[in-house]
Structures are given as structure tokens and as C-alpha cells.
Chain A
Amino acid sequence: MAFYFISIVLLGFIAVYALMAVWAERKISAWIQDRVGPVVTGKYGLLQTFADIFKMLQKEDITPTLADKKLFLAAPILVFTAVFMGFATIPFSPTYISSSINIGIFYLLAIVSIEVLGILMAGWASNNKYALLGSIRSIAQIISYEIPAALAILAVIMLFQTLNLQEICMQQGILSKQKIYFFGFWEVSKIGGFFAWTIFQAPHLFIAFIIYFIASLAECNRTPFDIPEAESELVAGFHVEYTGFKFGALFLAEYAMMFLVSMIAAVLFFGGWNTPLPNLASFALADYTTGTYWGIVWILLKALSLVLLQVWIRWTFPRYRMDQLMTLCWKVLIPLSFVLVLFSGIWKLFILN
């Protein structure tokens, strides 16, 4: 019974989060560019995106004459469904996870790949030159960056020896059954806090996080890797022909995707639902702040901070050129992430043994 409830709650949460994220992004961009941002609708313009979505729901639903009707209709459904299904294996707290399957992270990699298919469908079905260019660029970019992302995740998996996301979280805090070492020399299994997070368990894993984060920016089509939708050259990329709620679904999926990759980063690198507060001497802060509700608070805080970082990066850096982007991926990130995997193996076999 709880599952029915949870999937509905999650759907509502994603929708509200996406709307608030759009509002936050507009406010932050305004602040960075010394503007005011939305102010008219509601206090601080808080209702702006709600107004936008209600407007969008009433818009005319246009399918271009040349479009492939079936694919054009299926693409937004596929993209949104793929992203939303990704949330099923994310642990929100020590006791709550929708589906605690032992191939968790594997499943997420598959889900992220399905989204690519939706983008290809959208671009091809629109039968518009801008849309097609945007979608093939997007695919070249997403599939290329999937390899460094998968390798960076592999470096973490080698340390934990499990694909289950709930167990990965467990091994980063005071609830761990295994011993945790801070950079390999100081046992912190009972101290917990941020000392036990993945990025502090081995020195190379922070680099793994950087690689994963860069790759996740590319997978979400975010700046500096937003050439698929480069407004100044491709109008809007693969969703140029979409109107009304079909566009809304693609838009919702884009922001949900940002949140999904941030959730994965939080689980893999920043302890998931584990508290950042350590047990210090007689102050057992980690013991107090670990639990079902605290877990939800911590993981959401971590994921939303990463979303904030993505937004911040978007309004700070200029866009990459296609060849620079592919060069960065194939000639820098992929060799570097292979080195990280090698280092992970050496660390696990020789230092932790």
C-alpha cells in the first residue's frame, strides 16, 4: 500500500521541485547579472512558474504537418517516464527506498540511456532542421559523456563492492557494518559525519566526483555543454516544434534529470542520507541526526545544493564548442577515469587490506 502512496508523492514532489527550480534559476541568474528577475506574480515572484505552467496547459497543441505523428507524441512520454523511473532506486533514508534492488546503480545507468532515445525521437520526429541538429548533437554528447560517468561510478563501486544504492549509503556512515577509514589511515566507523563520506575515503575519489559532475552537466544538456539547445544558433534544439504540455513534459524532465543526477552524486560521493555532523567526544551529533526524517532532510539538502551548483555554473561559464567538448571527453576525461579505476583497485587491494 505504501508504494502506491510513495509514487504519487514522488510525482508531486518532482513537479513542485521542477517549478521551484525554474523560479530559483531565474532569480539566481537575475542576481548574477544584476537584474531583478520575476517580481510581479506573488511575493518575490514566487508564483511566476506556477502561472507559466497554467498558461502552458491552456496552449494549443500543435503537431507539424511534416512530423512523424506517433514518434512526436511518444517522445515526451518516454523522456519524462525514463527520468521519473530513475528515482525508484534512490534511497531517501535508512528505512525508505522504493525499490532496494541489488543492481541499483546499473539500473540508473540504463535509465539515463533511455532518455537519449527520447531526445532522438523528439528531434527526428519533428522533421525540423534545428531539431534534428540539436538532437544529434545531444546524442553525440550524452553518449560520449556516459563513458567517463560510468567509469567514475565504477571507481566508487570498486571501493564498496556492491551495486545496491542503499548499501552504498550504509557504508558511508555510522550504520556501516564494515570498517570505514578516513583516507585509509584513521578508522571512523563510529565517528561518522562527513569523515566517512566516499570522497574522504580515498584521495582519488574527489577527482572521480569532479569527472562525474562534469559528465552529469553534459548529460543534462546544461551549460557549458548546452550546444544541443544553444539558443543563439539552434533556436531551442530538439524541442523547437513542441508546444503546450508536450513542451512542458520535456521541460519538467530536464529539471527532474538535474535533480536525479544530483541525487546519484549525493548518494555515491556525499554519503546519501548520512549526516555531515560527526560524533565528537561526548557530543554524539551523528547519533542524534541519523534517522528516517533526518535522512530525507540531509539527502535533499545535498542534492539541492548540487542543483544550485549546476545553476551557478550555467550563469558563470560560456558555452563550449562541439569539437572542444568532444576533445575534453575523449582525450582528457576517459583516460583520466581509467587511471582512477586502476587507482581504486590498487587502493582496495593493497591499502585497505
Chain B
Amino acid sequence: MGNSFIPADYFPIVLQLFAAIGFVAVTMLATHYIGPKRKTADKLANFECGIEQQGDARSPISVKYFLVAILFVLFDVEVIFMYPWAVNFREFGITGFLEMFTFVGFLLAGFFYLLKKGALDWE
């Protein structure tokens, strides 16, 4: 507890990692051998609700998804950046609080620009 940690604290996480991978991988391998294997070309084709398969799914994706991804990166980095500050902001007092909210204010100004620009309009 407290502010110090030792690497051994992370050991249970590694253990759970191995337990989970072990469980899923072993069961997947086992069921692969248990199950029947009758492979036909029709069965291995992609499912398209019964109609003949038309090409594959490597097609362009709407740019709006990329826009969301970029906005996510901006905002998430900013939120993650606020976490260490949130743990200590009481010691920084009102000055630290105002500094952080100046920063957030600039960010929200950008957010307001996005709204006005129509980047967040999905028809």
C-alpha cells in the first residue's frame, strides 16, 4: 500500500494472463480435435445470408470512422494526462486547479470549433 510498489505486486496479473491464455488455447486446441472435420468449399466460403459470395470485405471504409478515431486519440490522451494530476491536485491547490482548467479550456475551445465545423454531425 501507500506510494511504493514492488514488481512482485504485478505477479498475480502475469499469472492470470497465463491462466486465461492457457484455458482458451487448450480448450480451442482440444475442441479442434474433438469436432468433426468435413470441409467443403461451400462451408468454408464466407457467410452472406445464403447468396453467392461477392468479392471480399477489403473495401474502403467511410472517412467518418477515421475522424472519430483521431478525435478519440486527442481526447483520450488528454484524459489520461489528467489522471496523475487528479491524484495530486489537492496539494497544488487553487493555482494547480486553475492551470489545469486553462488547459482543458483550450481543449474545449477546439471541441467547440469541431462542433461548429460539423465534424460531429452524423446524418
Interface residues of A (CB under 8 A from B): 3-4, 6-8, 10-11, 57-66, 73, 76-77, 80-81, 84-85, 87-89, 98-102, 106-107, 109, 126-132, 136, 139-140, 143-144, 146-147, 150-151, 154, 157-158, 161-164, 166-167, 235, 240-241, 244-246, 249, 322-323, 326-327, 330-331, 334-335, 338, 341-342, 345, 348-349
Contact = CB atoms under 8 A, between A and B. Distances in A.
Interface string B80-91: 101100111110
Nearest to A249: B24
B9 interface: yes
Nearest to A244: B31
A140 B80 contact: no
Chain B, interface size category, equals 35 or more
B21 A349 contact: no
B97 to A, nearest CB: 5
13 contacts: A3-B12, A4-B15, A57-B27, A64-B45, A77-B24, A80-B24, A98-B16, A101-B10, A107-B13, A130-B47, A139-B69, A341-B104, A342-B101
Contact of B9 (A99, A150, A327): A99
A108 B122 CA distance: 30
Chain A binding surface, main DSSP class: helix
B115 A150 contact: no
Contacts of A161: 86-88, 90
A157 B65 CA distance: 31
A84 B16 contact: yes
A245 B31 contact: yes
Given A81-B21, A101-B10, A127-B56, A147 B72 contact: yes
Interface of B: 1-3, 5, 9-13, 15-17, 19-21, 23-25, 27-28, 31-32, 34-39, 41, 43-49, 56-59, 61, 65, 68-69, 71-72, 75-76, 79-80, 82-83, 86-90, 93-94, 97, 100-101, 104, 108, 111, 115, 120, 122-123
Given A60-B38, A326-B120, A345-B89, A99 B24 contact: no
A129 B57 contact: yes
Contact of A57 (B2, B34, B100): B34
A10 B45 CA distance: 38
A279 B37 CA distance: 63
A77 B58 contact: no
Nearest to A353: B90
Nearest to A243: B35
Given A61-B32, A249-B27, 19 more contacts: A58-B31, A61-B31, A81-B17, A99-B11, A101-B13, A102-B2, A128-B48, A129-B59, A143-B76, A147-B72, A147-B76, A147-B79, A150-B79, A151-B79, A161-B87, A163-B83, A245-B27, A323-B122, A327-B120
B45 A65 contact: yes
